[in-house]
Structure 1
Amino acid sequence: MRSSNPVFSRRGFSRDNGHAGFNAAPQAGGPAVATNPYATNPYATDPYAQQQGTQFGAGPQAPARSGAMTIDDVVTRTGMTLGTVVLTAVLSWVLLPVDPANVGKSYGIAIGAALVALVLSLVQSFKRKPSPALILAYAAFEGVFLGVISSAVSTYIAPGVVIQAVLGTMAVFAGVLIAYKMRWIRVTRRFYGFVMAAAMGFVLLMVVNLLFSVFGGGDGLGFRSGGLGILFGVIGIILGACFLALDFKQVEDGIAFGAPREESWLAAFGLTLTLVWIYLEMLRVLSILQGND
């Protein structure tokens, strides 16, 4: 299992040519490498010894063993990572006011924190094993950025929008989780390929828009404001929801095939990246809508 992330390239769901065994339950007597993302992991146990439902939905699960990842591990690590984001966001909101006397300093710190978070996330994305310290440090710097940006939007553009964006993000998470658990969303190779292609196209458009805004001023091509801003914001939220489904698939596969417990940190890292993505897009859409009232 590797961490998922709408911005950076995923290193694959498994060690089987970069994909997990989508909808391919292990069959007795079949080759392990074809469906087991952890077949080459020396810590993994035989996934064919037992079949039962996983925590996210019906499917095979490896026998319980010491040191294997569980849903409790994923929930705990995700709670720690998101808790760090929330804590530093609140502290930066309080300690880095965006009033006219301090706005330049606050924005400068926010941009610096965002760049540090970007570097840390890239480092973790390319590491073979998760580093809890690195992931928590990313969460801390990401929280600083989110706190200042949220404070600025709430102060100058749309008061009260932050709570709405948080509730909207929680609603998307709950909706995707229910849809995934009920198997209304089925993560297949085609689904994975479509989401990745759409995400790369979306990011490229946003990068081009950013370059035009830097050199031409304003909002560049207009993809992040007005009617187009709402449209692309909604597309961003939908992409984030799709990445949540991919994250849930990774967690399900990790539990089913006996991934080592340390992999739960990668699951937490991926879920945090995706939820931050959804929150920022939700914040943008709601702020545009309220600004047009």
Structure 2
Amino acid sequence: MKSSNPVLSRFGHAERGRAAGYAQPGYPPQQYQPYPQQDAPGYGSAVTSAAAAPMTLDDVVVKTVTMLAILGGAAAATWVLVPDQLLGLALLGGVVIGLVLGLIISFSRMANPALVVAYSVVEGVFVGAVSKLYESRWDGIVLQAVVATFGVFFVMTMLYKARVIRATPKFTKIMVAAMGGLFAAMMINLVLSLFGVNTHLRDGSGLAIIFSLVCIVVASLSFVLNFANIEEGVRMGLPQRYAWTAAFGIVVGLVWLYLEVLRLLSYLQGDD
């Protein structure tokens, strides 16, 4: 069956191409065994098993928990160790480096666990700095945002498992367009803010509240795409290391959702 997901299809084609590359010219890949078991007892089977071990749902769960643990540890360290006067620098570094790493991971043809772990650390620094700034102004807001974020994630998991929401081709197209549009709006707003132009998307106004609500809805629905991608990756038999890529998608969605919930809660609490 042909994959409906272009990213997973690209990974699948790349993996099949690498597997075919082991074969000698003129020989079908399935007829060529580079490490015959009878010539090297135990060695060939171990190499083949390690290289061909397919990704499972448990692999994705473990990698996601690992990423969240690293991110949480980096956030806690930033909260405790970084002085208030350096929080702005931590924010800027986290945004720039995190964006670069995120783009590299997203558009790479190979799953790279080292980059994913590095992203978790950088994003943890960013989240820790943001959280400390918000908590210093609105006591208890971070805990509220964390509970709301994982609550939404749990609800979306249950809805997807019950097939209440499914990643149909139409749904996928709408979601891709919505996420692209929101990202463009955020980038334009950021650039304009550097020149003193207020678009009212992030100033606590009624428009800002609506924009944050839209972002929260889209971020929540993005988990449906992640879950569908994971199912398809498991079905395609992608190598185990691609569980890191799947976990990366979930963590990106969780961080986005957390930041938007944090921002919305600050709007609702006002300047007190």
TM range (shorter): 0.7 to 0.9
Residue in structure 2 matched with residue 50 of structure 1 by the alignment: none
CA RMSD of aligned residues (A): 2.1
Question: Counterpart in 2 of 1:193?
Answer: 173
Residue 48 of structure 2 is aligned to residue 67 of structure 1: no
Q: Which residue of 2 aligns with 1:247?
A: 226
Alignment of 1:35-74 (within 5 A): 38=12, 41-42=15-16, 67-74=53-60
Question: Which amino acid counterpart does residue 129 of structure 1 have in structure 2?
Answer: M
**Identity rate, percent:** 37
- Alignment-derived partner of residue 204 in structure 1: 184
Whether the 8 Å contact between 2:8 and 2:233 is mirrored in structure 1 is no
Distance in 1 separating the partners of 2:127 and 2:173: 30
Aligned to 1:77: 63
Report the count of equivalent residues: 235
Gaps spanning 5+ residues in structure 1: where? 1-10, 19-36, 44-64
Give 1 or 2 for the bigger CA radius of gyration: 2
What is the distance in 1 between the residues matched to 2:180 and 2:13?
30
Measured at CA, do residues 288 and 74 of structure 1 come closer, stay the same or move farther in structure 2, by a change above 3 Å? same
Q: What is the identity, as a one-letter code, of the residue corresponding to 1:221? A: T
CA contact (8 A) 2:52 2:239 kept: no
Residue 27 of structure 1: aligned partner: none
Q: Name the amino acid aligned to 1:203.
A: F
Instruction: Give how far 1:114 is off.
Output: 2.1
1:232 aligns to 2:232 (yes or no): no
CA distance in 1, matches of 2:61, 2:196: 45
SS in 2 for 1:174: helix
Q: For structure 2, which runs of at least 5 residues remain unmatched after alignment?
A: 20-50
**AA at the equivalent of 2:238:** A
2:120 is aligned to 139
Greater share of helix: 2
**Aligned residue number for residue 113 of structure 1:** 94
Question: Among residues 159, 174, 180, which one is paired with 1:179 in the alignment?
Answer: 159
CA contact (8 A) 2:156 2:224 kept: yes
Report the Cα distance in structure 2 between the residues aligned to 1:256 and 1:127, rounded to whole angstroms. 21
